[in-house]
Amino acid sequence: MLQEHIRNIAIIAHVDHGKTTLVDQLLKATDAFRANQQVEERVLDSNDQERERGITILAKNISIDYKGVKINVIDTPGHADFGGEVERVLKMADGAVLLVDAAEGPMPQTRFVLTHAIQAGLQIMICINKIDRDGANPEKALNDCLDLMMDLGADDEHLEFSMEHVVYASAVNGYARLDPNDGNDNMYPLLDMIVNDLPAPDADLEGPLAMQVVTVDHSDYVGRIGIGRIYSGTIHDGDRILVVKNDGSRAMSQVKQLFTFDYLGRKECQEVGAGDIAAVVGVDSTDIGDVYTDPENPVELEPIEIDPPTLAIVFEPSTSPLVGRDGDIVGGRQLKERLEQERENNVTMRIEELPDKTGVEVAGRGILHLSVLMEEMRREGFEFQVGRPRVLVKKDENGNKVEPIEQAVVECPGEYAGKVIELFGNVGGTMSQMDTGATQTHLEFKIPTRGIMGLKNRILNVTHGEAVFYHTFLEYGPYAGEIGGRQNGAMISMSTEKAVAYALGTLQERGTLFVGPGTECYEGMLVGERSKPGDMVVNVARTKSLGNQRSSTADIAVQLTPPRTFTLEEAMEYIMDDELVEVTPKNIRMRKRILNETERRKWRVRHGMVDK
């Protein structure tokens, strides 16, 4: 039976095409805020990192009320590293709004989120956003969307629905239009189309209870909170329910509190009926995929499978000579406890202690996925060190090694296309498509995840900063063999002292510096990159020898180029196997695993490695 008073919709898009801004405008259009209420932009991106990075990391649920219909809106992440969120939350929706930038058209991660929406059988309406932007071409963007849907296997019925349900919008200016030039200045055309044309949930209110958990929230007061859609029946506060796990195991539990979504918050209620989305408190150690059902008439639902992690990294307690200067949590035990807590709250990561107890291995969907956790921890006051990310290689049914393969897209001026193709060729990439436009060339590659590490900076260097680079996980493919790492050697500090301008002035002629005058350096720390292969130990504290006579001309001041700085992701992609990234609340430093030069040489001799 259709629940006409409810709509469950997901908003899907590539990173930075305006999903969260659009949700802001839907909230304003339905009077979610008081007339005098101060409202921040991108109100759903409540996490500090979401605001700073300008991306959605966690899927969010809100509900709005329009013409007597409750619209449950799911704001999904657009970045493939958070794909685990997208796959699951789409199970709660009956329809989706595909948001596409009118100037850029569909991008690699549009393909990623759209693939999941089509596989889930959702009816998809298209919203061409940013029609006021310079270079906007709404008609081309729409045709590209329909072509992409055909490529991804959408059937005729879904294609026809999408062709007939198109809205043109400028989310930042707060309007949606059925025609780009019709002059409407509000969001009601989009809301009307959602209510009138997207399907209502088909659910049996009288049947046995069946609810599946797709998101797990966590509260320090009540523990885990299972969030999911009710497919049949009604759940009441205080009900005794049967919990069926993904592995088939069963246990009885009791609903202690029940919430439904109400605008930006949750509202406690006594019952929630089929077709709606509920948050349930009381099921200990609830997990994604759990089915809450009637003990007398249990209902079976398809288990939820989460895509496996593709990258792993080892967290270790910091052994830096400067440990404890910036952070106040430096012990191995606290690090392990924090990561075990993360394992409870974050089911998309695999977190296991190493057999020798020297560290904890964390596996995730990509560099960004892992760096979000590290950034969170350093803000909490942790100091730790991590090694180079390791790609998780598997074996197929024939026993052959397979590794994660990514689809990479580069858009750059035509004059640089040859250099970009050469870069990809050096790291195992193969070109799958090339489109030459009037000013820009569009290149697509298939490349092992190992080859992606550190590639972005090299692409920006050879294109003089004019390239746009995106990549997304595609599949597991044949192992590509050895892939070359960093070409240039590192400059390594020989002592624990502050860097001096005079010494840096002579060193910058030999390569690129990572530190400026007055920076605290220590023995074994990476202070720069050579312009040649092979590491070089340098003295960053060398001062000018002064005689007892005055110079006939005044000393010329040392002209220093600003040092190159690294984000967490860039530092992890830059280091080699014998190097570490030291993470503190105030600094990100790169260092050799063995700090002493003599010890490093002995280690290299023992392992049959000879300096170039």
User: Residue positions in the annotated binding site for GTP?
Assistant: 16-21, 129-132
Strand-pair partners of 65: 70
SS3 readout for 154-170: CCHHHHHHHHHCEEEEE
Q: Nearest CA to 337 among 317, 365, 363?
A: 317
Q: Where are the beta strands (DSSP E) in 482-587?
A: 490-493, 511-513, 526-530, 536-538, 579-583
Task: Determine the length of the chain.
Answer: 612
Between CA 36 and CA 40, with CA 38 as vertex, the angle to 5 degrees is 150
Q: Nearest CA to 124 among 76, 164, 153?
A: 164
Measured distance CA(485)–CA(450) in Å, rounded: 9
- Would you call 296 helix, strand, or coil by DSSP? coil
Measured distance CA(305)–CA(490) in Å, rounded: 43
> Which residues are CB-contacts of 219 (< 8 A; sequence separation ≥ 6)?
225, 281
Structure tokens at 3: 């629940």
Measured distance CA(353)–CA(311) in Å, rounded: 16
Instruction: Report the chain's terminal Cα–Cα distance, integer Å.
Output: 73
Measure Cα distances from 400 to 449, 480, 494, 526 in Å.
18, 12, 44, 38
> Which residues are CB-contacts of 261 (< 8 A; sequence separation ≥ 6)?
61, 62, 63, 72, 267, 277, 279
Instruction: Enter the DSSP assignment of 201.
Output: P
As a whole number of Å, the CA-based R_g of the chain is 27
Give, to the nearest 10 degrees, the angle between helix 138-151 and helix 156-164.
170
Identify the residue whose tokens are 């889930």. Answer: 120
Structure tokens at 56: 């959605």
Measure Cα distances from 76 to 43, 113, 290 in Å.
14, 9, 21
Going by the annotation, the residues of the binding site are: 16-21, 129-132
Which amino acid is residue 553, in one-letter code?
Answer: T
Name the pairing type of β-strands 123-129 and 95-101: parallel
Measure Cα distances from 106 to 102, 339, 370, 385 in Å.
9, 37, 26, 38
Contact status, residue 433 vs residue 375, Cβ threshold 8 Å? no
Structure tokens at 195: 């209510």
Strand-pair partners of 211: 230, 292
Measured distance CA(504)–CA(509) in Å, rounded: 9
φ and ψ at residue 452, rounded to 5 degrees = -70, -30
